[in-house]
Structure 1
Amino acid sequence: MAPSMLSKAFLSLWTFSSAVRAYPNGPWYQVPLGENVLGDPTRYPTADDKHVDYVVVGGGASGLTVAARLSEDPSVTVAIVEAGKCPPALDWGFDTTPQEGADGRVKHFTNAKTLGGNSAFNLMAYMATSTGALQKWADEVGDDSWTYSNVAKYFQKSLNFTGIDPSKRRLNATPELDTSHVGHGGPLDVTYANYGQPFSTWIKKAFDQAGMLPVGGFMSGDMFGSSWVLDTINHTDGKRASSSKAFLQPILGQRKNLFLYNVTLAEKVLFNDKTATGVQVSRGKTIFTLSAAHEVIITAGGLMTPQLLQVSGVGDANLLKKYNIPVVLDAPSVGQNMEDHISFGIGHKVDVQTNSALKYKDQYDEAVEEFQGQQAGLLSSPGPDFGGFADIPLDLRNFSASTKSDLASFPKDWPEAFFISFPIDMGFPTDGYNYAMLFCTLMTPMSRGTISIKSASMKDSPVINPRWLTSSTDVEIAVAAFRRVRQILQMPVLQQNIIVGSEITPGSDVKSYDEIHHYLKQNFASMSHPASTCRMGKDGDKNAVVDSKGRVLGLDHLRIADASTFPFLPPGLPLGVVYMVAEKIADDIKHARKQQHSEL
């Protein structure tokens, strides 16, 4: 596969518009990569000034969760501002600056522009994180309410878990899950797909041989081991359960105190001295104001939350003055400390059916019929469905002293890598064979990036500089993890049963440290998990932007409730942590409001 072809193929999978082009007539519109989330536009408010109690900026996983929870009280009015509209306008089209860790190339950074945010077209995996990571979180923000024992209820609160349908899912792909760690009766459906990928059943055997033994789900606070991955799939129709479908659609139009302003851009937060009073928004050429009697809550994500703060006058004063933005608060940490996960993989020809089959009309038509009739088969699966968390094994740990020191800063239950089956065709030949990959996502990123502005307008994209693979620690671990992927794929259970021929991507000639490093620079893919750009921390922490309840330090009536507040990017895939943070901060807001009323 040509240099950078893998990362381009991964990106095309990650974006809904490419999936629609690949499968124009089938259920890819519905599962797993998309849905019509906007409904009837006549239900939405006109572009006029309005006064509400809370304005929520951003209609993604966190924003819709917060808005739904606050509007449970019929006496509370809530407005949601979301720039997105219906497909294919699902992505903001952001690119990074030239990246040193990618040989100077500019890379696309996927960022959802639709109701539901990234939950409307990600790979749907739902998991918690490690107990030690959450203890570290609590320690760094000075608030024990963030320990695993205290936030487990928020991981569960959103969820409605249902088990598998054994009539549709093969018995050799039966998940093991301790259901005491998942919620029942919440708005967000989580389950296992009705189709367990055959490639993944063999990867499970290989993980067993590699020492990644079954852990019974990634919800208990223990991440080490392997498991079938829980997905946000609606158990009744097999379609994606995005935050829009789970939290918004059931109540929109039913709650007269909830107002959705979609296709509406938040231009800036408005202030009276240090107090947020509302948001200036625009729909087309019409500019109007949504005033907030209590709070403005920003949930625009790791890229656009810091951008919105900066254009509103909250950020590094020198940067703001450059664009003639009046300084409300000199906060140099806004847009700093960005973390992200990166992935890479190795591909083989395999002797089991994978999503390569969907390239052929007869097999694709059969899959469509099976999904439409039974919500089963290839199209009912998100693809990557079995994963394992582990550290790099001893025989590959030829790390420098600085890398060892960096790794020692993480809690002991924080795994270094996540390995996941990837039975999806990534631009391989159309030659009648099935292809699959084993991917690895690094869990201990040390590279830190930045988000800044290039104008005073939200209509211009932010300056995104993730600085991937600029830390020597990240490079050393990436090379070692790549070698571990290769080791796993050489396990006898795979070589003797399903792998056909030699390694396809990148090829067995990529062997030395420098060769692997070069390949990774050319081919790694961002997981689009930007976090920590408005870090949570203690008052007085120079790197903190918000306190442990998401309140922006130094300002009143302004709060943030998304991944930008993470004090660090915890191990695992972050969708579950995003929902947890939203549920917890929504509860904090409700408790504060109740306390205020009791004091009157």
Structure 2
Amino acid sequence: MATSTDAQEFSSIKFDYLIIGGGTAGLAVASRLAEIPSLTIGVLEAGKSGYGDDDIDIPAYSGRALGGPYDWHFQTTPQPGLGGRTLPWNRGKVLGGSSALNYMTWNRGSKEDYNAWEELGNDGWGWDSLLPYFKRSERFHPPPPNFKDNHQASYNEPNSFLGEDGPINVSYTRDFSPSHALWHATFNEVGVESNPAHLDGSNVGVWTTIVAVNPETATRSYATHYCLTPPANLHILTEALVEQVVLDKKDGEWAATGVRFSHYGKQYVASAAREVILSAGSVQSPQLLELSGVGRADVLGAAGIPLKVESPNVGENLQEHIMLPMVFEVDPKLPHPDDLFIEEIAATAYEQYQREKSGRLTVLPCSMAYLPVSKLAPKEDVASLSSRSQQLERFGAEQTSILSSRFDTDKQLGQVEFVFDLGNWNPSFAPKEEGKRYCSMLLVLQYPYSRGSIHIDPKDGPTADGVPATAHQQPVIDPQYYVGPHGELDLEIMLHGAKFAQKICSTKPLKNVIPGPASPSSAVVSDEDLRGWIVENTITDWHPTGTCAMGGRVGQAGGVVDERLRVYGVKGLRVIDASVMPLHISAHLQATVYAIGEKGADMILEDAGLRS
């Protein structure tokens, strides 16, 4: 992969488009724009390249890079709804962004998730419009025939919903956890049907997920694969921290003309003749808008940033999937990921992986289920949740209608995700008994009512010497988990999900390998005690959205960008990443973020008259 390390040379190039962030969306946008030979494209990425690093490439090593040199090391503020705990918010500081650090799950939300964006007035963002862009990003590798029966690896055939020649390879894992063979049968036992077409517009049911892995090499497939051999008109500068978008007044309006960035301690400016594209993610896209003078007057004033464009929703509307890792004891005779900490077993597994591209190092969590609340809670409790959701005052009438309708039993939307994996996924659970092995049932709330914010820190504002906040300082990340009437609704849904997870883990055949609970322990019996345990053990699922949302019909009063992803009040500036989602989706994010990048690139070219 060709990347530049000469910042002086980079800054001297006359770019048509400059992209801030070489991550999931940013590299998709850059690659597609560079298909027009007459354009000159620049990408600035704060991290370095991790291409070829085993901690990124080997599937079973997923998670090892979290907290390391490829991570931004973000943290939330202390969360009152979580007992005052502060959570790590891992984000990728590496070429490829968080697509280089995630667990490679590849799925999509339901049709209704994307249609809801369009219902809010964001034309062209419904399921039917987005599906071609989902397909454009992916290259699906059908599994061997025996996989379908042995591992419930099913999809609709003939395949009209999956792409065949995109840059991101997606496939079923080569090998599976021994517990996966019990997953479908257990859910079927409690009345949840298998969904053989979970990528076709409805993810409700139990299924085996595909992952972003190239089966030919058994390695992670991530955003860098958009530009493994970049064309001559695409220039990528790594270890370049963008500090500000340069905004100049033109004909009485603010316009983006370039960026200021630092590279190994030196300051540079790069210019863009056509547009600047902000693809820094849900944390740093709002941060950079504020550092550039676009945002709430009070936030910018407190941080010492001169206000240029009043945009009250920058950094607001933060939505995050809330995850609850429940831990159970598991049969110690099962092959277990903890075995890989044993030197001899780890060496043998690595040798098999290098030789055959198979074995333990190709295993990923792939036991999935998405269920509506109506499957988890009694009818009267679902009715109560629906009624309470209609009384929330924070959302406008359109959003309230969409959110409350998700409790309708005829909608059948996946409000809670269940993922099962061997190993202890709970950072708060420290086993006290030696010789025991553990498994985890992960519950992930898909449509959170909690709303938080991400802003530059007023503490980093003007000091005695008048220095304002900078991009070198972490923003204030405040998800507001379980806070207020919105958060209370989330907590109740998670309570029902936790009780259902306990039911699943006490149902055969999964029960045959689970001797009993570990965290919460068997002593946690009452709903009150279980609520308390949920508060103490909830963590993030690393899926933040919404902080630069599309405003739809209400425009700047409800968002930061229009349906063409153009920043309100600034010419030549767009945001293209997960932050533009006005409402969260029932899915892991990466496939949708690639689709946003693909669609965003098309919009840029259409608006420039370079594509019809």
Give the TM-score normalised by structure 2.
0.86
Name 2:93's counterpart in structure 1: 113
Name 2:422's counterpart in structure 1: 423
Q: Distance in 2 between matches of 1:102 and 1:554?
A: 37
**1:203-257 CA-partner distances (Å, limit 9, x unpaired):** 221111123322124311111112111100012210101101x112232xxx111
Percent of pairs with identical residues: 30
Q: Post-superposition shift, 1:362? A: 3.2
8 Å CA contact 2:376–2:497 kept in 1: the answer is: no
Q: Distance in 2 between matches of 1:405 and 1:577?
A: 30
Name 1:409's counterpart in structure 2: 405
Name 1:10's counterpart in structure 2: none
Name 2:569's counterpart in structure 1: 554
Q: Post-superposition shift, 1:477? A: 0.5
8 Å CA contact 2:4–2:236 kept in 1: the answer is: no
Q: Distance in 2 between matches of 1:206 and 1:396?
A: 20
**Measured at CA, do residues 158 and 170 of structure 1 come closer, stay the same or move farther in structure 2, by a change above 3 Å?**
closer
**Measured at CA, do residues 425 and 362 of structure 1 come closer, stay the same or move farther in structure 2, by a change above 3 Å?**
farther
Q: Distance in 2 between matches of 1:115 and 1:395?
A: 43
**1:142-188 CA-partner distances (Å, limit 9, x unpaired):** 41x21211211111101111122468x69521400123211001111
Q: Post-superposition shift, 1:386? A: 1.4
**1:254-274 CA-partner distances (Å, limit 9, x unpaired):** x11111111001010011121
Q: Distance in 1 between matches of 2:5 and 2:561?
A: 37
* Equivalences for residues 38-53 of structure 1 within 5 A: 46=9, 48-53=11-16
Counterpart of 1:512 (choices 526, 546, 552) is: 526
Name 2:154's counterpart in structure 1: 176
Counterpart of 1:191 (choices 140, 164, 171) is: 171
Q: Post-superposition shift, 1:46? A: 3.8
Counterpart of 1:380 (choices 345, 350, 362) is: 362
Counterpart of 2:499 (choices 477, 483, 493) is: 483
Q: Distance in 2 between matches of 1:550 and 1:151?
A: 15
Q: Post-superposition shift, 1:492? A: 2.5
8 Å CA contact 2:423–2:437 kept in 1: the answer is: no
Counterpart of 2:337 (choices 355, 377, 383) is: 355
8 Å CA contact 1:128–1:577 kept in 2: the answer is: yes
Name 2:609's counterpart in structure 1: 594
Q: Distance in 2 between matches of 1:531 and 1:566?
A: 6
Q: Distance in 2 between matches of 1:521 and 1:97?
A: 15
How many matched pairs?
551
Q: Post-superposition shift, 1:327? A: 1.4
Where do 5+ consecutive residues of structure 1 fail to align? 1-37
Q: Distance in 2 between matches of 1:469 and 1:197?
A: 33
**1:272-303 CA-partner distances (Å, limit 9, x unpaired):** 12111111111022111111111000000001
**Measured at CA, do residues 403 and 521 of structure 1 come closer, stay the same or move farther in structure 2, by a change above 3 Å?**
farther
The residue identity in structure 2 corresponding to 1:491 is T
SS of the aligned residue for 2:48 comes to coil
**Measured at CA, do residues 64 and 227 of structure 1 come closer, stay the same or move farther in structure 2, by a change above 3 Å?**
same
Q: Distance in 1 between matches of 2:273 and 2:494?
A: 49
Counterpart of 1:450 (choices 426, 449, 453) is: 453
**Measured at CA, do residues 492 and 447 of structure 1 come closer, stay the same or move farther in structure 2, by a change above 3 Å?**
same
Does 444-453 or 283-292 show the bigger shift?
Answer: 283-292
1:68 corresponds to 2:31: yes
SS of the aligned residue for 1:439 comes to strand
8 Å CA contact 1:170–1:196 kept in 2: the answer is: no
The residue identity in structure 2 corresponding to 1:117 is G
Where do 5+ consecutive residues of structure 2 fail to align? 51-67, 390-402, 461-468
* Equivalences for residues 261-300 of structure 1 within 5 A: 261-273=237-249, 274-300=254-280
**Measured at CA, do residues 423 and 228 of structure 1 come closer, stay the same or move farther in structure 2, by a change above 3 Å?**
same
**Measured at CA, do residues 449 and 503 of structure 1 come closer, stay the same or move farther in structure 2, by a change above 3 Å?**
same
The residue identity in structure 2 corresponding to 1:214 is S
The residue identity in structure 2 corresponding to 1:156 is K
The residue identity in structure 2 corresponding to 1:460 is Q
**Measured at CA, do residues 42 and 557 of structure 1 come closer, stay the same or move farther in structure 2, by a change above 3 Å?**
closer
8 Å CA contact 1:83–1:263 kept in 2: the answer is: yes
Name 2:510's counterpart in structure 1: 494
8 Å CA contact 1:357–1:434 kept in 2: the answer is: no
8 Å CA contact 1:403–1:473 kept in 2: the answer is: no
Q: Distance in 2 between matches of 1:48 and 1:377?
A: 46
**1:82-110 CA-partner distances (Å, limit 9, x unpaired):** 10025641111111111011101221111
> C-alpha root-mean-square deviation of aligned residues, in Å?
2.2
Q: Post-superposition shift, 1:324? A: 2.8
Q: Post-superposition shift, 1:45? A: 6.8
* Equivalences for residues 241-320 of structure 1 within 5 A: 241-244=221-224, 246-251=225-230, 255-273=231-249, 274-320=254-300
SS of the aligned residue for 2:219 comes to coil
Name 1:467's counterpart in structure 2: 480
Q: Distance in 2 between matches of 1:136 and 1:326?
A: 36
Runs of 4+ in structure 1 deviating by more than 3 angstroms, as ranges, are 38-50, 394-397, 399-405, 425-434
Give the TM-score normalised by structure 1.
0.87
The residue identity in structure 2 corresponding to 1:177 is Y
Q: Distance in 2 between matches of 1:268 and 1:522?
A: 38
Name 2:40's counterpart in structure 1: 77
**Measured at CA, do residues 304 and 219 of structure 1 come closer, stay the same or move farther in structure 2, by a change above 3 Å?**
same
The residue identity in structure 1 corresponding to 2:606 is H
Q: Distance in 2 between matches of 1:461 and 1:180?
A: 43
Name 2:392's counterpart in structure 1: none
Name 2:589's counterpart in structure 1: 574
8 Å CA contact 2:17–2:272 kept in 1: the answer is: yes
1:58 corresponds to 2:21: yes
1:152 corresponds to 2:131: yes
Q: Distance in 2 between matches of 1:276 and 1:347?
A: 50
Q: Distance in 2 between matches of 1:577 and 1:475?
A: 26
Name 2:352's counterpart in structure 1: 370
SS of the aligned residue for 1:113 comes to coil
8 Å CA contact 2:576–2:597 kept in 1: the answer is: yes
Q: Distance in 1 between matches of 2:377 and 2:167?
A: 46
Q: Distance in 1 between matches of 2:182 and 2:222?
A: 30
**Measured at CA, do residues 223 and 405 of structure 1 come closer, stay the same or move farther in structure 2, by a change above 3 Å?**
farther
The residue identity in structure 2 corresponding to 1:554 is G
